[in-house]
Amino acid sequence: MTRPLPDALLQVPHRRDVPFSKLTTLGVGGLCHWLFEPTTEAEAQTFVRACAQEGLPWRVLGGGSNLVVLGDVTTPVLRLALPKTVQREGNTLCATASHGHIALAEAAATIGLSGLEFASGIPGSLGGAIRMNAGAYGREWVEVLARYRFLTPEGDLVEKAPEPGEFRYRWSFLTGGRVILSATAALAEGDPAGIRARVAEFRGKRGTSQPLSKRNAGCIFKNPPGQSAGRLIDQAGLKGLRIGDAEVSPEHANFLVNHGKATAAEFAELMARVQAAVAERWGVALEPEVEIWRDDPDGSSSGH
């Protein structure tokens, strides 16, 4: 049974029944019954406050590039639609969470600021990247993050510098009802040609080792400490394992790809089969790196 939503919440721009296939890069999932898209920080604050006052569970969606949705979602979903701005001050760049992550890395390269080259192939929104402390090629966001601005679960606005314990491998404390609004990266002046060459090198590496031409959600499982999930899946002989249109990529085993008409159920089954096979072959329990939203028919989920 779904609860009626409070009037304050309905003041925030929203759409009904949007298919998750249009909101995620993997392109599966059911309907997002309530998609709230605030265009200002104040509207985002109204959303969070209204939910907090009513004790309503809700979730945050970014660029949908690290998300597997396994069904319909009836809890309200927040997807920031803030203007995509970038401001330079000295050697720092401040951008809104809605800004495209790759576009921000490209903006930094264009103006000759070095430090975000690692980010140039990681899709999604800046907010999503900070929230999961995205990284590649041995670098991660927390290394360049100077300040960030977010809403607390009560809807209060906080701006601060990162502190120990707030970010670690593919994890940050910016979950559980916290919403990142903007972030400032501390970069260094560099030679634009050199920066562009590093960007091209990282892109080239990704392009040859990852199935970027197919719909995917990036790496599906976290690397277990000291090991590579891709290698464990590969050496368990699972490349090319296919259920319907969902397949363990023959190019990189930690990517599951959608050949076109895959369903959420097929991805759920494929993930479970991979986990079971790796546990049996290597005795390792693979933990999802992607966020998973499960079918939520009664709106009782507390996930974000």
The CA-atom distances, in angstroms, between 10 and each of 35, 44, 154, 178 are 11, 12, 18, 20
Measured distance between the N- and C-terminal CA atoms of the chain, rounded to whole angstroms: 20
Q: Does 131 bind ligand EPU (CB under 6 A)?
A: no
User: Phi and psi for 49 in degrees, rounded to 5?
Assistant: -60, -45
Question: Which range of residues in 107-115, 159-167, 181-189, 214-222 is near ligand EPU by CB under 6 A?
Answer: 214-222
Please state the closest distance from residue 208 (CB atom) to ligand EPU, in A.
Answer: 10
Q: Does 49 bind ligand EPU (CB under 6 A)?
A: no
Q: Does 289 bind ligand EPU (CB under 6 A)?
A: yes
CA distance 58 to 178: 11
Question: Which range of residues in 2-10, 22-30, 222-230, 293-301 is near ligand EPU by CB under 6 A?
Answer: 222-230
The single residue among 125, 218, 241, 270 that binds ligand EPU, judged by CB under 6 A, is 218
Q: Does 26 bind ligand EPU (CB under 6 A)?
A: no
Q: Does 209 bind ligand EPU (CB under 6 A)?
A: yes
Q: Which residue is nearest to ligand EPU (CB)?
A: 218
Q: Does 230 bind ligand EPU (CB under 6 A)?
A: yes
What tokens were used for 156? Answer: 């209060």
Cβ contacts of 130 within 8 Å, gap of 6 or more: 97, 141, 145, 148, 172, 174, 180, 183
Helix/strand/coil for 16: strand
Chain residues in the site for ligand EPU (CB under 6 A):
136-137, 209, 218-219, 222-223, 228-231, 234, 252-254, 289
